Structure 1
Amino acid sequence: MTKFRSGLAQLIWLVAALCALILAVGALLVALDANRSNELVHFLLRAADTVDLGVFSRSDGVKQFRGEGADVKNALFNWGLGAVAWLVAGRVLDRIVKP
């Protein structure tokens, strides 16, 4: 049972870290004004939109900026905050599950 819980804790941490990475890369792509017609960029932005869970959405997230550069600011702030939240939640759940 200990091996199972240890493996489950590692899986939880891996998923949380991967979601945080997707959000961070998505925010970076928006900040760098990456070519959105590129399939990889499009896939990563869609993935980031999915893992933000709607709470940290760049269009309707925790904080919304207006004016010049609002898209970049919204992505960096909301997705950055979402990445931190994924890492914190993943670490907490890892500690709870780990024997």
Structure 2
Amino acid sequence: MSRSSAVRTRVAQVVWVVAVVCALLLAVGALLIALDANQHNALVKFVLDAADVLDLEVFSRGNGIFEFHGGDAATKNALANWGLAAIAYLVVGRVLERVIRP
């Protein structure tokens, strides 16, 4: 294996791991919203803040693709929009990984 192939393989692995971590943060954030976790807890706050940054405004809780109203709207918004964002990160991450890998 040439040096450039080894570098491309390593970069592809890093891209895939980053995509999986982003999707995991979004999924855990949606779960924390659904479980009505204590948002004053530092770890919960960190995960929710990270998920808010990763949602790219297209999949945001308050103004995303899906906007539910009424009872449990915040939970439905988080599950639908952040769930879609997690899937998008996984799909884009896999495509990029396949393009980069030699």
TM-score when scaled to structure 1? 0.99
Give the one of 69, 74, 81 matched to 1:71: 74
Q: Which residue of 1 aligns with 2:11?
A: 8
Give the one of 73, 76, 98 matched to 1:95: 98
Query: Residues 17-36 of structure 1: matches in 2 within 5 Å?
Result: 17-36=20-39
Percent identity among equivalent residues? 58
- Extract unaligned runs of 5+ from structure 1: none
Distance 1:45 1:92 in 2: 26
Structure number with larger C-alpha Rg: 2
Deviations 1:29-53 (A, max 9, x none): 0000000011110111000001111
Deviations 1:66-87 (A, max 9, x none): 0000000000000000000000
Following superposition, the deviation at residue 58 of structure 1 comes to: 0.6
How many residue pairs were aligned? 99
Q: SS where residue 85 of structure 1 aligns? A: helix
Superposed structure 1 runs of 4+ greater than 4 Å apart: none
Q: Which residue of 1 aligns with 2:40?
A: 37
TM-score when scaled to structure 2? 0.96
- Extract unaligned runs of 5+ from structure 2: none
Amino acid at match of 2:84: L
